[in-house]
Amino acid sequence: MTATVVLGAQWGDEGKGKVTDFFASSADYVVRFQGGNNAGHTIVVGDEKLALSLIPSGVLYSDCVPVIGSGCVIDIGFLKQEIEMLHSKNVSTKKLAISPNAHVVMPYHKLLDELIEENLGENKIGTTKKGIGPCYADKIQRSGIRIQDLLDDDVFAQKVKTNVEEKNQLLTKIYGREPLDHDEIINEFKAYKDIIKNHMKDTSLMISNAIKEGRTILFEGAQGTLLDIDHGTYPFVTSSNTSSGNAAIGSGVGPLNLNKIVGVTKAYISRVGSGPFITEQENEIGDYLIEKGAEFGVVTGRRRRCGWLDLISLKYSVRVNSLTELFITKLDVLSGLEEIKLGVGYKTAEEVITDYPYQQSIFYDAEPVYETFEGWSEDITSVTNFDELPDNAKKYINAIENFIEIPITFISVGPERNQNIVINND
């Protein structure tokens, strides 16, 4: 049995879509364990680009079962659109399995997400306004609506009425908006019952049985470690646990079943939205990385902030996730730069820190400490062997590996499925 977790080691947008697709080609199940349609990943197949947000990338393989686990929150209207998009590309979704315990993003969640963000003004988080945070808040408050509730008309109607009554107090008295009509919402969701009937399965039991049978399971994370609600750059984080521990919780299997945890990082670093970013380059280097790396959000289209790879935060991701190996993406984007830098410390007024700070204020006061490397000009997009890389590229990769103390086993040198270097990996 192989149960592999693939997750982002930065602030998301590391190229996980390509990486999960790479592993999904040999997986029997691909399981999404957290998040919603606030995260997107792009998979390039020949001249075709497929942008997925909810459905796991395993859907592209006819022998693979894509699973949306209990740790996810689901906008069913969006899910319907994604299913229809895949059908238009002749991709079957017949095997898609959805946990009955996953929570449903309701219309009032999306409206409140937008209003809360607007009300924060200059202190806004940079949310995608997809209703993810308010949905998780209702889940924790024990007033959420789950996938299984949609199959019981009385239960669903009662929960919607109760929630709308509460939300209308906020909408009318705090935000000065018109109240929502609970009957309209109930009627809207009647159209989604067939989707639930066709795809709702006991996914915890399904995955557990597959593990007993020795099947290959891939657990697919959304966003990235530095956006984890507990371990990220709070409050500029997402609303769920994006780190590897949640792969077990968000899919309903025991943690001892996980035997391989692969972190994904770019050869540089980026983030979308607000929040601290010590190695950010608000200059021609940042512009170069954004343009050459096509750094625009899959879901929002927003221009990403870019900077040099931060090894302090990467080493932190190794620690909190128990990463067993690293997959580096977009090394080809660095080709053409005269010099390349790696962040190896944070300099405060008192000292140079080489471990991730535990106090939030340090992120705003510290300056980066860099190690500088000579760049390379060669086109590496057709390289398939590590030894064929330019010497300066190899020195750069080796420096990363030495600092984080886990093996780098894969390097992506282009967006296509087959543009990868595999290093000492079976």
Encoding tokens for residue 378? 């060669």
List the catalytic residue out of 21, 28, 41, 199: 41
Residue 412 bridge partners (DSSP): 420
The position carrying tokens 């399904």 is 206
Q: Is 182 tagged catalytic?
A: no
E-strand stretches of 33-91: 41-45, 48-52, 65-68, 73-74
| Token pair in block for residue 319 | 């620690």
Q: Is 75 assigned a catalytic role?
A: no
* Cβ atoms 309, 269 nearer than 8 A: yes
Contact present, 355 and 397 (Cβ < 8 Å):
no
In angstroms and rounded to an integer, the radius of gyration of the C-alpha atoms of the chain is: 22
Which one from 13, 21, 28, 228 is the annotated catalytic residue?
13
Q: How far apart are CA 307 and CA 314, in angstroms?
A: 14
What is each CA distance from 372 to 90, 309, 330, 343, in whole angstroms? 48, 11, 19, 9
Contacts of 235 (CB under 8 A, 6+ apart): 125
Instruction: Give the end-to-end CA distance of the chain in Å, rounded to a whole number.
Output: 14
What residues are annotated to the active site? 13, 41
